[in-house]
Structure 1
Amino acid sequence: MVRDNLLADMKSAILGETKPLDLNFVYGKAEGSKFIPIDGQQRLTTLFLLHLYAFYNDSSKTKLLRNFSYETRTSSRDFLEKLTENRAAVFSSKLIPSREIEDSEWFVLSWKYDPTIQSVFIMLDKIKETFEDVENLDQLLTDQESEPIAFKFLDIDDLGMEDSLYIKLNERGKPLTPFENFKARLIGRLQKLQSTLTDDFEQNFDREWTDLFWSKSWKNFDQTYLAFFSGLLMNAGFFENEANWSNTLDYDKIGEEVFGTAFYTLNFLCQNPDNNEVHQLVFNALKEKRTYQDRVLFHAVTTYLFHAKGIDTGSLRKWLRIIQNLTLNSQIDQPVLYRRAINGINSLSENWNDLIEYFSRNGNVTGFSQEQIEEERLKAQLILQSVDFAEEIYKAEQHPYFSGQVRSALWYSKNGVGKYDKDSFVRYWDKISSLFERGKPKHGHLLRQALLTYGDFTISVGEYKTLCVDDPNEAASTPSLKRLFSNHGNVVKCLLDELDTISDIRSQLEDIVNKATLPKIDWRYCFVKFPELFKWMSVSHLRLRKVGDELLIIPNKSSNGYNYEVFSTALHYALKQQGIRSDLESELGTWAIRYLRSMEHKVKFKNGKFIVIDAKDIVVLKTKTDDPIAEATHHLLKL
């Protein structure tokens, strides 16, 4: 960890175990007796806190230590002043510093939510843990001869900006980091624009915004800060590939809209620390494994805040709700689909303050699933028509499995005269929601078995068909149960009509399966009677394939490998229940398991019948009934 490594290096240098520690370059401005750092605030703050600890029993140093001021927010500045005055009580306590501070009379409860103070808490606890066994720390730290910790000061006014800054630092053997270089060039571009935002942008960049990113990701502070601008610029179309983007970017093409978007977004995040939804949408797009959907939702946030000048006018939640529903329920997993979704949001930006009204009237937009667009139009109309219906829709959209997609319950709630009934919607949605939890159905294959008793619910995937995977974040090639239920088909409706939310759902599903009277020549009977068949299928695909008169279980995504005929596999388990050993085997030159062998007898399933062949290749049985599995089992039991 960066923090642990820095403190460990400081300790080693102070104890003389290693050479003096060079904290590298810190550049800023010297104004009279004041030094205002433009970069390196984290290193300097850590050094200040270490001095607070080293001199916590020396009151003569209080005046000197109070010269350090963190001018991010009034709360940060006031806290550091109080900490400096009360450092003796803080560090002499048996409690860890953060706990002692929180329990102190001078501590203001609201300070807990200041990201600067949160970061200081973490560092104070670690400093005490690291240095509490070091004797005479104050003397060692300020030893004039050894100078265990030092940094080099570079005046920004002497260095200039952009490339000249990079070159002059490089001449000293310490080139700027990618983030520092980007920041210098970005600010240089802003100054050329002579924007009214320039002064506030520069100050916030190194104060409030720095605290924000430090509090969110102090381990990877620079990378996260840089990722914010990478996402902003990529969404704006400045580049399609992030590789080495900050060095290849044409900074002269960056206009005021980009700076305004960054300014209003970051200020909103700083001023609204409790808005967890917006914070999450932004920082999800800054993580290393961000998805195209993360980028699109990030664009939704920044687009709104740019147009709203960083203020939630009361429509932010309404805007985000619809964009989230569209994004999370559309396939956005390729660059071209991502760009279409970005353009779709841009086309909606004029309606940032009244998106529900816009969708209720028209809702024309491209770049997202047409089915989801239609759903949002319908919901917008119902929401504006009825406050009660709106509350039920909002509540249903919170289900983590469906991510705002509730159209099946709406469809089923439509009455004979084309009206949507709120109470009917609630009843159907309660049943649907009781079957699923985050990321999966609650009752797994039992739900599929119950559905199969009402009909063939499989969805075609090219030459295959699938029993629908669990994961709602499906790939385009593998439909999920979320897709099945959102298609509002008759099989799903039959199951829902049979269920009630008062009794135990699992017991009801088991009862449906146990009482099923499927034709025993129907492949669905095999899965309902022998759930072990699901074990032969990949949970990521759950595929079947019809080949001639055979239905094959496909263990993986495609049939390029061993595949298993459904009835033969079911017979294998029927024989196992009777204590009869059997082995599934393939014919020479084929991948499909074409028969099973039991007691030297070969058993094949063809044209709806089992054919039993003895060791002399003589047919000893060809089933005749409509229950071929039971008939074949009965015959083999007699051998």
Structure 2
Amino acid sequence: MSTTLHSFMDIFETTIEDGDTSVQLNKIVIPLIQRDYAQGRIDKDINRVRSRFLQALYRAVTGEPITLDFVYGDIDEEGTMTPLDGQQRLTTLFLLHWYAAKKEKISDDKYAFLSRFSYETRYSARYFCAELVKFMPSFETTLSADIKNQAWFPFDWKDDPTISSMLVMLDAIDERFKDVPDIWEQLENKAITFYFLPIRDMGLTDELYIKMNSRGKPLTVFEHFKAELEREIRALDEKNGQNTADRIVGKIDKSWTDLLWKYRSSGSSDADDNIIDDEFLRYFKFVCDIICYRNGQSPQGYSSDVFDLLHLYFSADDEKAVANIATLESFFDCWCKIKGYNNPTEFLESFMSYTHARGKIVVDSRYKIDVFEDCLHFYSDKSGRIRQFPLNRIVLLYAITIYLQHQSEVTYSDFVRRIRIVNNLIQNSEDEVSDRQDRNRIPAILQAVDAIILTGVIDDSIEINFNVNQIQEEKEKIEFLMQNPDRTDEVFELEDHNMLKGQIGIIGLDNLSLGSRFSSLFTCSWDKIDCALMALGNYGQQERNKWRYQFASKSLQYAWDELFHKSANAGFENTHTILVELLKSKESFDDGILDRIISAFLAQCEKDNLYPWNYYYVKYPVFRPGSYGKMSNDDVVNKPYMFSVMQTKTQWSQNTYMPYLKEADDDHLSRDEMGQYLVYDDVYIVCENNSYGVYRNDDDSLTDTVTISQNEAGIDTEDRIIKLKKYIANMK
């Protein structure tokens, strides 16, 4: 016996040679042991498979003939073939030929072979196929509705999974082919073919046949994907005279499966989850995204469906397909054998940590140290629309992968130093690491990563889109450590502090000796640190919009990150100066030391009867609510006291308030006026830079002014909050 190429029409006239005997195949029967027809099921994954298969058949019928790979089957002495593999494809071809025959009113004798295709899975499916061949639809409604309305269609047949799937497929075929002419003629001309291999040619036993078909499970998305990928690579091989497909498929089945095996289904012991399908497809998406970025594009503009990605980057018609296949292969291969390590986890843990450790970089504790595992489990949600594996982790994983692909060129020690540079850039470029189509910076970022990992140089010739301040700092640190290699540990330990995350400019290379004091300081209460800094001067920074200001927070690190990481805000150098002054004032810090600094400042203000704005900030906790550290003041030069406390990052809200008013009488603070008024029965009170205005509720006329005494420099010489409280008490 030998493998032969057939169409669904001529398979029924095939003579199978077996030594001295021959058997004519005249009937195809789906046996009891086989699963139900599945390509018509209503399921997201099956819908995708159905759509793609019909699209392939559509292209074949409209001008691009297709071969559907192998159909395996056993043939008995009477010429009845029972398929081992190919049931789903054969059933769909049966339905397509039926549709073409009925739609184009082909004579009965030409499609009589359809009656020789039958199901034995259930009697209902068997009789349905027989009745369907005899039935002539009206094509005036959906085929499924027309069929279910026939007298020969019992009501309970709708519950037969094979029949219901066939009805769905018939409607899908009609939707796809209703405007296609001459379908039957194209089928006669062998637009759709497949290879048929009798089961005995494969050396398979009946026992194996039973085992393979008793699972009752439809092909997975991964199995369809793998077959389609192989088909595309083989087409490319034929075009280029290569033999890549066998190598790639062999690696998928062996070395790449071995790589992913420990990561299967998050380590679940559930036997049903003992596969690497999802992990493979997630990493495949990662590689496709990298290909897209390297092409100067953004994945945001493309489908995230793995089949769409397969055809986009690995189609034989794509001139870059050969290079893309090489990329896919190298991105998998490099993780399979890592010099000096048994597996990716062991390798990654050798240079990554959640806290400072010599020779390691610090990574975000929200994620696993095994960034490769995170990619395999969280690259995107099930719909593929939401990327749960964030862009900064994509860039980090890419950098590590580039090293693994060049282990023969880059030493491990050089890599550990260089990945620290990349990690620092990533951590301090949150706004820059973007792949939106209107500001896609990832292509340039990946180019910069290539240069850093392979050469250790931040190359000015490349358009770099990391944060410019961090780029400059990294260059300065490279130069500094070349001249002062003995201070490497000091630099790295300071970089690894959780409040700095790689950017140490707030302290500076000139003040490295203060690193231990900084660590000591941030074991204290954040609120007390805030107050101690403010006691030395107004350390706040003005944002680029000019009316919003950044201060610290007693509870949210976000505020400290905004202060300690140089940005477009004005005042970073002033914050640096005040922080360094505080660090230089003591060898170490605790809450008691900070309390004494704070108390001394307040006592001096009260002794001198001078109450600058920062006095109120330190004295009254209402100025420091513990939110995002945001305040607003649209004219700080002329109105230095007029800071309103915000509770959001960017906008005023009903929870915004003028802190003097809130401290004086919170019960009468008006949320409707965004905390800018104290409202009473007849009047309301508004804070001005050097006074309080008292206005009538009925006509907004000014009835009184509570003046705040100030010196010639415009600094309060009395506590304006105490004065307002006294006024309110007398008013009541």
TM-score (norm 1): 0.59
Larger radius of gyration: 2
Equivalent residue, structure 1, for 2:581: 497
What code does the residue aligned with 1:546 have? D
Q: Does 1:455 align with 2:537?
A: yes
Alignment of 1:293-312 (within 5 A): 293-308=392-407
Aligned partner of 2:719 among 600, 610, 627: 627
CA distance in 2, matches of 1:194, 1:471: 61
Alignment of 1:184-199 (within 5 A): 184-191=227-234, 192=237
Q: Does 1:568 align with 2:697?
A: no
Q: Does the CA-based 8 Å contact 1:268-1:311 persist in structure 2?
A: no
CA offsets 1:504-537 (integer angstroms, 9 cap, x no match): 43333332222224586533322211113333x7
Q: Does the CA-based 8 Å contact 1:22-1:150 persist in structure 2?
A: no
Q: How far apart are 1:228 and its partner, in Å?
A: 0.9
Give the SS at the match of 1:324: helix
Equivalent residue, structure 2, for 1:275: 347
CA distance in 2, matches of 1:512, 1:223: 58
Aligned partner of 1:464 among 548, 553, 566: 548
CA distance in 2, matches of 1:405, 1:21: 63
Aligned partner of 2:633 among 545, 555, 563: 545
Equivalent residue, structure 2, for 1:349: 450
CA distance in 2, matches of 1:498, 1:563: 31
Aligned partner of 1:284 among 374, 393, 404: 374
Equivalent residue, structure 1, for 2:226: 183
CA distance in 2, matches of 1:351, 1:524: 44
Give the SS at the match of 1:465: strand
Structure 1 residues 622, 497: CA separation in 2 closer, same or farther (over 3 Å shift)?
closer
CA distance in 2, matches of 1:297, 1:531: 41
Q: How far apart are 1:381 and its partner, in Å?
A: 1.3
Q: Does the CA-based 8 Å contact 2:678-2:685 persist in structure 1?
A: yes
RMSD in angstroms over aligned alpha carbons? Answer: 4.5
Alignment of 1:229-268 (within 5 A): 229-237=284-292, 240=299, 241-247=302-308, 248-251=311-314, 252=316, 253=318, 254-268=320-334
Q: Does 1:515 align with 2:603?
A: no
Aligned partner of 1:554 among 646, 657, 680: 646
Equivalent residue, structure 2, for 1:205: 252
Give the SS at the match of 1:373: helix
Structure 1 residues 21, 298: CA separation in 2 closer, same or farther (over 3 Å shift)?
farther
Q: How far apart are 1:348 and its partner, in Å?
A: 5.3
CA offsets 1:23-80 (integer angstroms, 9 cap, x no match): 999x9999xxxxxxxxxxxxxxxxxxxxxxxxxxxxxxxxxxxxxxxxxxxxxxxxxx
Q: Does the CA-based 8 Å contact 2:517-2:588 persist in structure 1?
A: no
CA distance in 1, matches of 2:220, 2:347: 34
CA offsets 1:581-615 (integer angstroms, 9 cap, x no match): x42137xxx73433325798754422312356899
Give the SS at the match of 1:543: strand
Q: How far apart are 1:431 and its partner, in Å?
A: 3.0
What code does the residue aligned with 1:402 have? L
**% same residue:** 17
Structure 1 residues 313, 607: CA separation in 2 closer, same or farther (over 3 Å shift)?
closer
Structure 1 residues 384, 183: CA separation in 2 closer, same or farther (over 3 Å shift)?
farther
TM-score (norm 2): 0.53
Structure 1 residues 338, 386: CA separation in 2 closer, same or farther (over 3 Å shift)?
farther
What code does the residue aligned with 2:578 have? C
Structure 1 residues 297, 190: CA separation in 2 closer, same or farther (over 3 Å shift)?
farther
Equivalent residue, structure 1, for 2:565: 483
CA offsets 1:154-175 (integer angstroms, 9 cap, x no match): 9xxxxxxxxxxxxxxxxx9945
CA distance in 2, matches of 1:502, 1:23: 78
CA distance in 1, matches of 2:442, 2:397: 12
Give the SS at the match of 2:536: coil
Aligned length: 452
CA offsets 1:124-183 (integer angstroms, 9 cap, x no match): xxxxxxxxxxxxxxxxxxxxxx99x943399xxxxxxxxxxxxxxxxx994541x33333
CA distance in 2, matches of 1:542, 1:176: 52
CA distance in 1, matches of 2:586, 2:461: 35
What code does the residue aligned with 1:295 have? I
Structure 1 residues 368, 347: CA separation in 2 closer, same or farther (over 3 Å shift)?
closer
Pick 1 or 2: higher relative contact order, CA cutoff 8 A, min separation 6.
2
Structure 1 residues 266, 615: CA separation in 2 closer, same or farther (over 3 Å shift)?
closer
CA distance in 2, matches of 1:394, 1:28: 60
Q: How far apart are 1:196 and its partner, in Å?
A: 7.8
Q: Does the CA-based 8 Å contact 1:450-1:513 persist in structure 2?
A: yes
CA offsets 1:83-118 (integer angstroms, 9 cap, x no match): xxxxxxxxxxxxxxxxxxxxxxxxxxxxxxxxxxxx
- Name structure 2 gaps, 5 residues minimum: 1-31, 39-68, 73-206, 267-272, 353-368, 381-387, 710-716
CA distance in 2, matches of 1:449, 1:511: 11
Q: Does 1:594 align with 2:676?
A: yes
Q: How far apart are 1:567 and its partner, in Å?
A: 2.0
Q: Does 1:585 align with 2:678?
A: no
- Name structure 1 gaps, 5 residues minimum: 1-18, 31-145, 155-171, 414-423, 574-581
Q: Does 1:228 align with 2:310?
A: no
CA offsets 1:272-308 (integer angstroms, 9 cap, x no match): 3211258723333441311111222222223333344
Structure 1 residues 619, 395: CA separation in 2 closer, same or farther (over 3 Å shift)?
closer
CA distance in 1, matches of 2:696, 2:452: 76
Q: How far apart are 1:382 and its partner, in Å?
A: 1.9
CA distance in 2, matches of 1:528, 1:603: 24
